[in-house]
Amino acid sequence: MNISLLTEENLYLFHEGSNFRSYQLLGAHLVEEDGVSGVRFAVWAPNAKEVRVVGDFNVWNGIYHVLQRVPQSGVWELFVPGLTKGDLYKFEIHTYSDSSFLKADPYAFYSQLRPDTASVVYDLSEYAWQDEAWQKAKRENQILEKPVVIYEVHLGSWRRTLENDWMTYRDIANQLVEYVVDMGYTHIELLPVAEHPLDASWGYQATGYYSVTSRYGRPEDFMYLIDLCHQKGIGVILDWVPGHFCKDSHGLRLFDGTCLYESDNPQRSENWEWGTCNFDFGRPEVSSFLISNALFWLDEYHIDGLRVDAVANMLYLNYGKKEGEWSPNQYGEDGNLDAMQLLRRANQVIFAQHPGVLMIAEESTSWPMITWPTDKGGMGFNFKWNMGWMNDMLRYMALDPLSRKWHHSLVTFSLMYAFSENFILPLSHDEVVHLKKSLLDKMPGDYWQKFANLRAFYGYWMSHPGKKLLFMGGEFGQFVEWRDRHSLDWHLLEHDKHRQLQDYVRDLNHLYQTEKALWEIDFKWNGFQWIDCNDASQSVISFIRRGKDPEDFLIIVCNFTPVVREDYRIGVPEAGSYREIFNSDREGYGGSGQQNPANMEAQAIAWHNQPYSLALRIPPLATLYIKPDKEKR
């Protein structure tokens, strides 16, 4: 890692909001001055009267280690000789009101395991990466036209030790990566790994934005996990939380005795719904802090993408607030102009330096142009979670199949806006907690029907335009809600239905990767065509997915009722032979085994505005993938 000097230019850029490697400037860095090794400490605390550094090296008494204020700057610095990697430290802040308190380093690269809160001197440059081939390919990757099926993981509960304790990054790596490759995923998305004091926050309320959590090991152990993923062809996406931070006393809140990282306007700073503080997006130094943090994970840990949490909370001044708790912007509207500017600038900087990454917005409203380029008025992300599709489909799938015909629009409405953004279809951790039930338990009917419903739903999900994300446990039918303090219920794989569902998801993932029609044209109408979206009375839909090659297409048919549909005719665009390449009702997947003949000849009977048609047997609660057989044409 390069280390920046506290030059007038670097400090100017920091205070201007455009020092995008401020983690090389501030924090604790192992350096050599005049031939003496030690640590240079630097911290931004413009309103402090005095700043000291305390730690195990001075018995937590900083009387002899007082930092010096850099002239014309709110930054303080001090070189302490003899300190080495692993030394503990905090900043002792003295205010003009004669109070003092200890703060963890906002730029620390490592921290103590909770409940201890000291920062740790660390060097991130020692790990020897082995992912050069992956990094080169990533820079040239056109991700919008590639298969993306993401496995969302909480490292603390994917799998635990026999003593129900956390596994280490390295132990997780040696099991998780092999599993993800076998299951046919292209990416892993990790819930936040920035240091956080409360396990139950799952990392979404952080104190150490530059410090990978010590719960599972050291920074180089986390690097090993990322490196192994890359060597096996798996990308890694990290949940990133630039919108708000927790109020713990050692963290960012009132850092120098004043509102520094948060606004001094309570309507802007207070996030009453989550009990946190919102960042002051209009403060230049906060902009330097946050954009540098995004680049830090991409630079130092080789992360392949960031899923930006709670973007709506950033964009709306009135998000989660009642009347009287917020004030409009200068135009009388509810948009946070500072947050808009920060997000646009962050995406511009990130893509300029890491063009192959995924920048994913978890934006839960209909805010326009999230994934449009910034020069066209957009926010500059390249993906957005499709929360509307997720909510509609989970509501639909929870219905008794007999009543689904009255709610058919829940299935079809997503195509009214499917190409307005570059969408990812998320089935995330948020949908299997807080009494929402697991995906399997959301499904209606008896034991058999629950699994059949879920298989049909997954088949539809995989064929719908957009990239895909599934939270861990959903692939084998975790029956209870996700519990962050327990391992997934891997013992369920001892039972046929759960093992068969896992086989189904594995095969579906691998099929998805091999069929270009399912992902090459995800964000334009020429990759999708309805065959029939109007058969509400039988709760059946059919459509075509197309690849770039005009001859490459798949026909998808979904039956959301437990009734076998015999001689069900659908229109097809070409004459010739067709074959069923995937069927969620196969006996090997736990289905009833209703299948179509190996070869089906299209008949010259116009149907559904198509010149030809097929008469199909559609299994109960099932999804079919049908493909033209080019070898027999």
Rounded to 5 degrees, φ, ψ at 270 are -80, 125
Q: Does domain 8-120 have CATH number 2.60.40.10?
A: yes
Distances (CA, A) of 612 to 17, 492, 531: 61, 45, 12
Asked whether the predicted pLDDT for residue 632 surpasses 80, the reply is: no
Comparing C-alpha atoms, which of 211, 220, 207, 203 is closest to residue 168?
A: 220
- Tell if the pTM clears 0.85, that is, is over it: yes
pLDDT tens digit sequence for 213-230 = 999 999 999 999 999 999
Q: Where are the domains of the chain?
A: 8-120, 147-384, 386-633
What average pLDDT does the segment 57-76 reach?
96
Catalytic residue among 262, 280, 309, 392: 309
Distances (CA, A) of 632 to 130, 264, 576, 625: 46, 72, 7, 18
> For residue 115, is the peptide bond before it cis, meaning its omega torsion is within 30 degrees of 0?
yes
Pairing between β-strand 270-271 and β-strand 423-427 as defined by DSSP bridges: unpaired
Asked whether the predicted pLDDT for residue 495 surpasses 90, the reply is: yes
CATH class of 386-633: mainly beta
Report how far residue 514's alpha carbon sits from residue 506's, in angstroms, rounded to the nearest whole number: 13
Which stretches does DSSP call E strand in 293-332?
305-308
pLDDT of 186: 98
What average pLDDT does the segment 7-14 reach?
95
Decide: helix, strand or coil at residue 441.
helix
Q: Confidence band (pLDDT; 50, 70, 90) for 633?
A: low
Rounded to a whole number of angstroms, the CA Rg of the chain reads 27
Q: Confidence band (pLDDT; 50, 70, 90) for 1?
A: confident
What average pLDDT does the segment 191-204 reach?
96
What average pLDDT does the segment 601-616 reach?
97
> For residue 368, is the peptide bond before it cis, meaning its omega torsion is within 30 degrees of 0?
no
pLDDT tens digit sequence for 507-540 = 999 999 999 999 999 999 999 999 999 999 999 9
pLDDT tens digit sequence for 114-134 = 999 999 999 999 999 999 999
Note whether 254 and 160 are within 8 A (CB). no
What average pLDDT does the segment 442-452 reach?
97
Report how far residue 617's alpha carbon sits from residue 555's, in angstroms, rounded to the nearest whole number: 14
Q: What percent of the chain has pLDDT over 90?
A: 97
According to CATH, the topology of domain 147-384 is TIM Barrel (3.20.20)
Decide: helix, strand or coil at residue 338.
helix
Catalytic residue among 270, 285, 299, 362: 362
pLDDT tens digit sequence for 80-116 = 999 999 999 999 999 999 999 999 999 999 999 999 9
Q: Look up 494 and say whether it is catalytic.
A: no
What average pLDDT does the segment 269-296 reach?
96
Note whether 427 and 470 are within 8 A (CB). yes
Measured on CA atoms in the order 360, 365, 367, 368, is the torsion positive or negative? positive
Report how far residue 389's alpha carbon sits from residue 409's, in angstroms, rounded to the nearest whole number: 11
Q: Look up 580 and say whether it is catalytic.
A: no
The reply to whether 386-633 shares the fold of 147-384 is no
Judged on CB neighbours under 10 Å (0-12, 13-18, 19+), 366 is exposed
The type of residue at 337 is L
pLDDT of 2: 87
pLDDT of 498: 98
- Supply the mean pLDDT for the chain: 96
Report how far residue 601's alpha carbon sits from residue 576's, in angstroms, rounded to the nearest whole number: 6
Q: Confidence band (pLDDT; 50, 70, 90) for 238?
A: very high
pLDDT of 631: 73
CB atoms within 10 A of CB 595: 15
Note whether 621 and 559 are within 8 A (CB). yes
Note whether 287 and 272 are within 8 A (CB). no
Q: Confidence band (pLDDT; 50, 70, 90) for 141?
A: confident
CA atoms within 13 A on the CB side of 562: 20
Pairing between β-strand 149-153 and β-strand 187-190 as defined by DSSP bridges: parallel
What average pLDDT does the segment 251-274 reach?
95
Asked whether the predicted pLDDT for residue 245 surpasses 60, the reply is: yes
Report how far residue 267's alpha carbon sits from residue 324's, in angstroms, rounded to the nearest whole number: 9
